[in-house]
Structure 1
Amino acid sequence: MKMIGCLFPHRRTMASSIARHKRARQGRVATEEPSASAWKFVRCPALIFFRWHEKRALSNLIVLAPANADEARQKLVYLIAVMVADPATPDAIGIANAIKSLKPFEATLAHCLSKRRTPFQ
Structure 2
Amino acid sequence: MPFQTRAWNQIRYLPGRMKMMGSLFRHRRTMSWSIARHKRARQGRVTAEEPSSSAWKLVRYPALIFFRWREKRALSKLIVLAPANADEARQKLVYLIAAIVADPATSDAIGIADAIKTLKPFEGTLARCLNRRRNRFNDSPL
Tell whether the structures are fold-level matches, with TM greater than 0.5: yes
Higher strand share: 1
Among residues 30, 39, 48, which one is paired with 1:31 in the alignment? 48
Any gaps of 5 or more consecutive residues in structure 1?
none
1:21 counterpart residue number: 38
Among residues 84, 92, 99, which one is paired with 2:116 in the alignment? 99
Any gaps of 5 or more consecutive residues in structure 2?
1-21
RMSD between aligned alpha carbons? 1.8
Secondary structure at 1:90 match in 2: helix
Q: Which runs of 4+ in 1 moved over 4 A?
A: none
Whether 1:117 and 2:129 are equivalent positions in the alignment is no
For residues 28 and 93 of structure 1, the distance between their equivalents in structure 2, rounded to whole angstroms, comes to: 17
1:41 counterpart residue number: 58
Q: CA deviation at 1:91?
A: 3.7
Q: CA deviation at 1:93?
A: 6.8
Pair 1:56–1:92, CA change in 2 (3 A)? closer
The structure that has the greater radius of gyration is: 2
User: How many residues get paired?
Assistant: 116
Higher helix share: 2
For residues 129 and 54 of structure 2, the distance between their equivalents in structure 1, rounded to whole angstroms, comes to: 48
2:99 counterpart residue number: 82
